[in-house]
Amino acid sequence: MELEGKKIAILLEDGYEELEFWYPKLRMEEEGAKVTVLAPQRKVYRGKHCLEAKADRAVSEVNVDDFDALIIPGGHAPDRLRRYEEILSFVKEMDKKGKVIAVICHAGHVLVSAKILKGRKVTGFFSIKDDLINAGAEYIDEPVVVDGNLISSRHPGDLGHFCRAIVEKLKG
């Protein structure tokens, strides 16, 4: 239980990639972290493959100081999440305070819209490589890239690397 006492938020929206949501959520809970599911609204959301998950809280109901880390799964959800100013403000504030932000697959789109990638090293799904580069990031095609408080991975096949990096960073 290496993350006992740590508080982690994980973002949710319709179209989330089920593996990229459930695997990190359960893995962090297994390590003793308290995981809170955040979303634009407190309701049930449906994943890409129709698996449902419920938001514990709306982002507007919480404070960045309540969390040690933020995980953003991929799928179609990041394209929806980036449309909410309260989500982008939450991500910017997490970054400003140096808190861990972990993104996988298409979740880098949220970081692009939050405008926090300039001069940073990241990875992501190959189809968003140009978006990450155009936002000022250096794209590295590796299973996991850690740059300061940012952790990024490319796709569900990298989830083992992704979760290990989150655990290591938070127990650090």
Structural domain boundaries in the chain: 7-171
- CA-to-CA distance for 142 and 160, rounded, in angstroms? 13
Tell me the β-bridge partners of 75. 16
The whole-number pLDDT of residue 166 equals 98
Residue 67's pLDDT band, with cuts at 50, 70 and 90, is: very high
- CA-to-CA distance for 40 and 22, rounded, in angstroms? 18
The whole-number pLDDT of residue 1 equals 83
- Whether the per-residue pLDDT at 76 is higher than 90: the answer is yes
The whole-number pLDDT of residue 172 equals 74
Q: Which residues are catalytic?
A: 105-106
- CA-to-CA distance for 65 and 43, rounded, in angstroms? 23
pLDDT tens by residue, 21-30: 999 999 999 9
pLDDT tens by residue, 23-55: 999 999 999 999 999 999 999 999 999 999 999
User: Nearest-CA neighbor of 111 among 75, 97, 127, 128?
Assistant: 128
- pTM assigned to the model: 0.98
Indicate the Cα dihedral angle 153, 86, 54, 28, nearest 10°.
40
Kindly list the strands in the beta sheet with 34-39, ordered across the sheet, starting from the edge strand earlier in the chain: 57-58, 34-39, 7-11, 69-72, 100-104, 150-153, 144-147
pLDDT tens by residue, 97-148: 999 999 999 999 999 999 999 999 999 999 999 999 999 999 999 999 999 9
The whole-number pLDDT of residue 170 equals 97
- Determine the residue type at 95: D
- Whether the per-residue pLDDT at 96 is higher than 90: the answer is yes
- CA-to-CA distance for 172 and 166, rounded, in angstroms? 10
Fold observed for domain 7-171: Rossmann fold (3.40.50)
The whole-number pLDDT of residue 63 equals 96
Structure tokens that stand for 8 in this block: 């982690």
